[in-house]
């Protein structure tokens, strides 16, 4: 069994307590993980604060070189890190290798932006001169989710480092090993001690200690709405920047003129990572004129998907835990009770692991739990609609607003619909995954702040204005 220690200021201190990480595909133990307590988190923040004093002065191009070296180290150790990622998440090795590559791309992308963190000059009258600087915040805290830990950790850690901040990362209890591997890769790449610290542990202890530490100058969290709101309330008197990504209930809207083959392919992207994705298109709205034909296409695709205990043989991976499997099954049962029809799937396929069949449910009311709440599993609900106004109103009838998809060959319609959909990102004729170079904003209860792209550079820095009098007399 693999063993992992904390990473604090370049040291790997012996833990006072450990926990076992299990493989969701089998529920067999795969790793032993050090659990940080409050004193460990305090030590990590102190190490990060100490390292910040020098790291903030490192030349921007040199910081970029460090990030490129991290990307190269991740790629050099791709198979090893991907294996750990598969063991903790249940995803296929090929999928995990893609996650390692995506993580490397985040470090490369922000490596190329370190020298673009600039201020501006502001013309003033007379002999006054004004300019702004963008300065790093200090110690940043990153509470990382379990559903795609390496990718989602890298998307915030990379820009934070690029901007001259130091990092304390708290990986998810259910899937901490790939972030601990990232910490090791950064050390192997030569990142100075204390710039990136990793404290695995429970949310109620390590996570809470990070949130309540007054020396943490920014917090990034991806997870549940309840925890996100708790974090916002806890730090409200400190007025520090927050990045909160708190889930979604994303609509995927297919009009009668859409390319049905492409739209059906887009609809079943939901089942990637067993639907455990915040931006998954879980609500499928289909124009009544093509509903039956289109749903047949989607069902045909679903029924070709395999569910297999071997993560390298399955199309639909395991859910993260037995409790997650039970919650998904309860949502499906509640849909049946609400009058919904399970067109395909809808059951636990076998006892081994935490798998659930890819499921499509029809005829369920808009106000049913499965229609309103984030299921976070391989469950797609389908609905008929008649008009643009109707589908926009129904698509927006959710507390979330993270992502949406629109399928139509009518450019005017595409522009009309995207203007009225209440979501941070609206895709047209695809259902593309987020990438480093485009922003990932959230509307409504899906969160606040924005990672990705140059928006992250603004988030992880603050503006200082400098105004001075300059004697313009020639001598």
The whole-angstrom separation of Cα 199 and Cα 310 is 31
Catalytic residues: 245
- In this structure, what token pair is assigned to residue 44? 């990590």
Residues 6+ apart with CB under 8 A from 370: 331, 332, 334, 335, 338, 340, 361, 364, 379, 381
The whole-angstrom separation of Cα 414 and Cα 350 is 43
The whole-angstrom separation of Cα 323 and Cα 61 is 47
């Amino acid at each position: 069994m693999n063993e992992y220690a904390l990473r604090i200021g370049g040291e790997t201190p012996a833990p006072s307590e450990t926990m076992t990480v299990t493989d969701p595909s089998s529920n067999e133990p795969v790793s032993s993980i050090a659990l940080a307590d409050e004193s460990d988190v305090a030590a990590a923040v102190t190490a990060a604060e100490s390292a910040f004093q020098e790291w903030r002065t490192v030349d921007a191009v040199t910081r970029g070189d460090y990030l490129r070296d991290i990307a190269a180290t991740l790629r050099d150790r791709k198979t090893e890190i991907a294996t750990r990622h598969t063991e903790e998440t249940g995803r296929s090795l090929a999928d995990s290798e893609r996650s390692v590559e995506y993580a490397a791309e985040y470090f490369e992308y922000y490596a190329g932006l370190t020298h673009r963190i600039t201020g501006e000059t502001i013309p003033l009258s007379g002999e006054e001169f004004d300019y702004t600087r963008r300065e790093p915040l200090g110690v940043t805290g990153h509470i990382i989710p379990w559903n795609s830990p390496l990718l989602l950790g890298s998307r915030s850690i990379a820009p934070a480092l690029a901007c001259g901040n130091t990092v304390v990362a708290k990986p998810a209890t259910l899937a901490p090993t790939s972030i601990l591997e990232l910490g090791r890769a950064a050390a192997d790449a030569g990142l100075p001690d204390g710039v990136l610290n990793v404290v695995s542990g429970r949310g109620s202890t390590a996570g809470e200690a990070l949130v309540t530490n007054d020396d943490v100058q920014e917090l990034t969290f991806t997870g549940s709405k309840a925890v996100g709101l708790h974090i916002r309330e806890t730090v409200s008197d400190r007025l520090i920047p927050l990045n909160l990504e708190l889930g979604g209930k994303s609509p995927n809207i297919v009009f009668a003129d859409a390319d049905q083959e492409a739209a059906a392919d887009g609809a079943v992207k939901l089942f990637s990572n067993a639907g455990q994705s915040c931006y998954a298109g879980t609500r499928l709205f289909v124009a009544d004129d093509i509903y039956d034909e289109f749903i047949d296409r989607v069902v045909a695709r679903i029924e070709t998907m395999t569910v297999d205990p071997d993560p390298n043989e399955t199309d639909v991976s395991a859910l993260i835990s037995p409790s997650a499997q039970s919650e998904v099954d309860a949502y499906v049962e509640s849909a049946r009770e609400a009058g919904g029809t399970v067109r395909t799937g809808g059951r636990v396929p076998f006892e081994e692991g935490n798998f659930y069949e890819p499921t499509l449910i029809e005829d369920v009311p808009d106000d049913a739990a499965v229609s309103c709440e984030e299921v976070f599993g391989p469950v797609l609900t389908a609905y008929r609609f008649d008009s643009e106004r109707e589908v926009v109103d129904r698509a927006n009838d959710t507390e979330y607003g993270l992502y949406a998809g629109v399928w139509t060959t009518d450019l005017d319609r595409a522009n009309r619909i995207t203007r009225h959909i209440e979501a941070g990102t609206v895709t047209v004729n695809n259902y593309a995954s987020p990438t480093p170079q485009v922003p990932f904003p959230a509307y409504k209860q899906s969160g606040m702040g924005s990672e990705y792209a140059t928006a992250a550079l603004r988030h992880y820095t603050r503006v200082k204005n400098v105004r001075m009098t300059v004697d313009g007399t020639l001598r």
